[in-house]
Structure formats: C-alpha cells, structure tokens
Amino acid sequence: MRANPSPGASLPGRDIFLRNGCGACHRVAGTQAEGGVGPDLSHMSSRGTIGAGVLPTDDEAVRSFIAHPHLIKPGSKMPDFNMLPQQDIAEIASWLKGLE
Ligand code: HEC
C-alpha cells in the first residue's frame, strides 16, 4: 500500500503514523490518512492547542497525548499508543508538528 517514496523525501514520522493505523481515525492532507473519527491533523503547526484546548502544541505535549490520550482527556475515543517505542512517538510528533 506504500506509495513510491521519492528519493530524498524520507519522512519517518509519516511512515510510522500510517503504519500504526492513525490514519483510520485522522486525516492528514497529502497522505493516505483519510479518517474522520478524530480531528484533522493536517495543520498542526498553525494550531495553538490540542486535546480540545487542554495542551499547547509543543513537542512534549503531542508526544504525551499520543502515548496517553486518556490521561489528558478522560473519555477520549483515541486508544493509548504507549506500546510504541518512544523513538517512534517522537518521530510522529515532530512530523505532525511540522505540518503547516
Ligand atoms: C480509534 C480512532 C483513533 C486512532 C486509531 C488514533 N486517534 Fe488520535 N485522536 C482520536 C480522537 C477521537 C481524538 C480527539 C480527542 C478525543 O476526543 O478523544 C484524537 C486526537 C489526537 C491528537 C490531538 C489532536 C488535537 O487537535 O486535539 C493527536 C496529536 C493524535 N490524535 C494523534 C494520533 C496518532 C499519532 C495516532 C496513531 C499513533 C492516532 N492519533 C490514532 C482518535 C484516534
């Protein structure tokens, strides 16, 4: 299902995001992620907050939201992704944060 990556356009965060099924619930413009359950993550860097306004859009907040959405937003429909390696979560967070 992977599109041919163009040489030099290695985006590990995007690959990890797609590989872990985040796109089943989230849309990110320009990728195969077309989910409509969670918020559209196409323009994370231009948003001031995440988690319905509870956290700033900084790297650490995005990482902790991905690992433990329930701690940050009780009743969240997003499953915990705490089982992912820290490095993978960090790659996703830095990719998402760079989306304008
Ligand atoms: C089963 C559906 C589902 C999956 C799978 C899912 N999410 Fe979410 N996500 C949500 C929902 C719903 C929210 C909104 C918060 C809430 O109400 O629970 C959310 C919120 C977020 C937010 C905060 C966005 C904001 O503006 O508040 C980020 C970042 C995020 N998800 C990243 C991810 C990543 C990365 C993955 C894959 C590792 C992922 N999500 C997988 C449903 C999902």
* All structural domains of the chain with their residue ranges: 12-97
Write out pLDDT tens, residues 10-66. 689 999 999 999 999 999 999 999 999 999 999 887 877 877 777 888 889 899 999
Q: From the DSSP assignment, how many helices (H) and strands (E) are in the chain?
A: 4, 2
CA distance 50 to 48: 7
Which of these, 69, 68, 70, 60, lies nearest to 93 by C-alpha position? 60
pTM, two decimal places: 0.90
The protein residue with its alpha carbon nearest to ligand 1, atom 20, reads: 38
Q: pLDDT tens-digit profile of 69-91? A: 999 889 999 999 999 999 999 99
Residues whose beta carbon lies within 6 Å of some atom of ligand 1: 17, 20-22, 24-26, 37-39, 41, 50-51, 62, 65-66, 69, 73, 76-79, 81, 92, 96
Please determine, for residue 2, whether its predicted confidence score (pLDDT) is greater than 60: no
Alpha-carbon distance of 76 to 49, in angstroms, equals 16
Residue of 15, 18, 26 best suited for mutating to test ligand 1, as the one with most atoms within 8 Å of CB: 26
Residue 7 clears pLDDT 70, i.e. is over it: no
CATH superfamily of 12-97: Cupredoxins -  blue copper proteins (2.60.40.420)
* pLDDT at residue 49, as a whole number: 82
